[in-house]
Amino acid sequence: MKAILFLLLIASQLLSFAQKFEANYDEAKMPAYSLPDPLKFNDGSQIVGKKDWTRRRSELYKIFETEVFGVTPDWKGALEVTKLSLKEDALNGLAKRKEVRLEFKKGEQKVAITVLIYLPKKSKKGPLFVGYNFDGNHTTTTEADVLKPDSWVANNKELGITDHRANEAGRGKSSSGWPLKEILKRGFGVATAYYGDVDPDFNDGFKDGIHPLLDTKRDSTSWGSIAAWSWGLSRIMDYLTNDKDVNAKKIIVIGHSRLGKASLWAGASDPRFAMVIANNSGCGGAALSKRIYGETVGSINSAFPHWFCDNFKKYNRREDLLPIDQHELLALIAPRPVYIASAQDDKWADPKGEFLSCVYASPVYEFLGGKKFPAMEMPPLNTPAIGDISYHIRPGKHDITLYDWNCYMDFASSYFRVKTN
Ligand code: GCU
């Protein structure tokens, strides 16, 4: 009898698990939804002048803080910078390369972010991309002397990791997503760090990473891991503003996938980022949540309960109740340029939902004197729609490719007037 009951319990759990995670990929099955208007105050009144936008923006920002990403505590501590290496002729003389460690301490606890920086030798102080990598700085480059992370990394068959420690097998394995030579030849610099240095990406009750150093108490509005990664991007920015080889006014924050979600929140939170790029950022990134297509609020919160604040879980299967949607995350970046990109086969990230966020963020850019987003319909494949908000969709799977980078560089070159070497 006990055994039967046990089996029934398992079966019912499996059923509810399957129901919870069944993704909708049919536009016809989407619920009717209406999106909140970013140009209306919470009380429904219309914003009129530019000053009103400042007030409306803080209303919106607060909702994203308390209902989505969580509130990031103030960081009042000191940033300790250690220069780890300097190479004047990296990548066959193409770049000056540096590694620096940024250290944060509270009592015995400390967190250290190792930043790998490549600067083009030929063009000084050009724009610079800053973004995280998934598996360690050494995976972005084939150069043998770039440091591996000391922090926890996910086990990964392809990278030969079985003990949560990075090893040599991973060196250069993500270099297709980091086309360093192409980037440097076009006059851009790159700064990258392993995102797990800031907060290891697993659900540990916020015991490791940066959370315990900043948290005094936690509640339903406390920051999750995405906000922590965004915070780390701002600390890298703190360092870059003091690096005399870098023009701090031309820093572009970039991220792929979950790291694209982090780059959007970093861009919304820190106005020093001059441009924001989110590649295949999907749910909780650029994709509209209320469409219920591909990954939903419920599925992301179940699979990654540590990414957002606990309040976000109120909207599991109740996206209709969300007081914001993701077009308003893009609006928080206005009037700075933002570039969103999708991949055709990346249905989980809802390419159309990513595109529609651009459409519905456009009125805010226009209100602030920017250009209207130039597409009302999804543009054809490999045909970027370029404006203050830019968008493209390319064929292929969830990934960041040379094509994506070339689009970002074309856009940033014209924006920052970069001369190619
Ligand atoms: C999962 C997750 C996505 C995320 C992606 C990634 O697929 O569901 O939300 O963007 O991982 O970061 O690769």
What is the CATH number for 97? 3.40.50.1820
> Sheet harboring 189-194: ordered strands across?
80-89, 95-106, 109-120, 189-194, 128-133, 251-256, 275-279, 338-343, 389-394
Mean pLDDT throughout 333-361? 98
Lining residues, ligand 1, CB within 6 Å = 257-258, 282-283, 295, 300, 303, 348
Nearest partner of 260 among 359, 134, 148, judged by Cα: 134
The answer to whether 315 and 289 are in contact (CB under 8 A) is: yes
Distance in Å, CA 300 to ligand 1 centroid: 8
Rounded CA gap, 413 and 94, in Å? 19
Q: Any idea of the CA torsion for 209, 296, 136, 345, to the nearest 10 degrees?
A: 180
Please check the confidence at residue 21 and state whether its pLDDT lies above 80. no
**Residues comprising the chain, all counted:** 421
The answer to whether 40 and 63 are in contact (CB under 8 A) is: no
Kindly report which listed range (141-145, 244-248, 314-318, 415-419) carries the lowest average pLDDT score: 415-419
Nearest partner of 387 among 375, 376, 373, judged by Cα: 373
The residue type of 273 is: F
Looking at the domain assignment, is residue 338 inside a domain?
yes
| Residue 149 per-residue DSSP state | P
The answer to whether 292 and 268 are in contact (CB under 8 A) is: no
Nearest partner of 121 among 184, 193, 205, judged by Cα: 184
Looking at the domain assignment, is residue 376 inside a domain?
yes
Copy the structure tokens of residue 314: 């109120």
Mean pLDDT throughout 346-355? 98
The reported pLDDT for the residue numbered 14 is 46
Closest-CA residue, ligand 1 atom 12, reads 258
Catalytic amino acids? 257, 398
Looking at the domain assignment, is residue 117 inside a domain?
yes
The residues that bridge with 120 in the sheet, in sequence order, are 95
Closest-CA residue, ligand 1 atom 13, reads 257
Contacts of 390 (CB under 8 A, 6+ apart): 337, 338, 339, 340, 358, 384, 407, 411
Copy the structure tokens of residue 32: 């009717």
The reported pLDDT for the residue numbered 123 is 86
- Residue 234 backbone phi and psi in degrees, to 5: -70, -30
Looking at the domain assignment, is residue 182 inside a domain?
yes
Copy the structure tokens of residue 194: 């392993």
Rounded CA gap, 179 and 253, in Å? 16
User: pLDDT for 160-171, tens place per residue?
Assistant: 999 999 999 999
The whole domain housing 89 covers 40-416
The answer to whether 179 and 131 are in contact (CB under 8 A) is: no
Rounded CA gap, 361 and 277, in Å? 15
Distance in Å, CA 195 to ligand 1 centroid: 14
pLDDT-based confidence at 420, cuts 50/70/90?
A: low
Distance in Å, CA 176 to ligand 1 centroid: 19
Copy the structure tokens of residue 179: 């086309």
Q: Specify the higher pLDDT residue, 108 or 100.
A: 100
Distance in Å, CA 257 to ligand 1 centroid: 6
Rounded CA gap, 156 and 46, in Å? 51
Q: What percent of the chain is predicted at pLDDT more than 70? A: 94
Looking at the domain assignment, is residue 421 inside a domain?
no
Q: Which atom of ligand 1 is closest in space to residue 284's alpha carbon?
A: 9
Q: Which atom of ligand 1 is closest in space to residue 300's alpha carbon?
A: 8
Looking at the domain assignment, is residue 225 inside a domain?
yes
The reported pLDDT for the residue numbered 76 is 81
Please check the confidence at residue 15 and state whether its pLDDT lies above 50. no
Copy the structure tokens of residue 306: 């540590």
pLDDT-based confidence at 117, cuts 50/70/90?
A: very high
The answer to whether 323 and 67 are in contact (CB under 8 A) is: yes
The residues that bridge with 115 in the sheet, in sequence order, are 100, 193
Closest-CA residue, ligand 1 atom 4, reads 258
How many folded domains does the chain comprise? 1
pLDDT-based confidence at 240, cuts 50/70/90?
A: very high
Looking at the domain assignment, is residue 71 inside a domain?
yes
The reported pLDDT for the residue numbered 3 is 57
Q: Which atom of ligand 1 is closest in space to residue 295's alpha carbon?
A: 8
The reported pLDDT for the residue numbered 9 is 47
Give the three-class secondary structure for 342: strand
- Residue 85 backbone phi and psi in degrees, to 5: -160, 160
* R_g of the chain, CA atoms, integer Å: 21
Mean pLDDT throughout 220-246? 98
Nearest partner of 191 among 226, 141, 257, judged by Cα: 141
Rounded CA gap, 115 and 194, in Å? 8
User: DSSP letters of 296-326?
Assistant: -HHHHHHH-TTSS-GGGGGGTT-GGG-S--T
Distance in Å, CA 76 to ligand 1 centroid: 32
Copy the structure tokens of residue 335: 């009037």
Looking at the domain assignment, is residue 23 inside a domain?
no
**pTM for this one?**
0.95
Q: Which atom of ligand 1 is closest in space to residue 283's alpha carbon?
A: 9
Please check the confidence at residue 7 and state whether its pLDDT lies above 60. no
Mean pLDDT throughout 89-98? 98
pLDDT-based confidence at 299, cuts 50/70/90?
A: very high
The reported pLDDT for the residue numbered 18 is 45
The reported pLDDT for the residue numbered 12 is 47
Q: What is the mean pLDDT of the chain?
A: 94
Q: Which of 257, 296, 399, 400 to mutate to test the pocket of ligand 1 (most atoms within 8 A of CB)?
A: 257
The residues that bridge with 338 in the sheet, in sequence order, are 276, 389
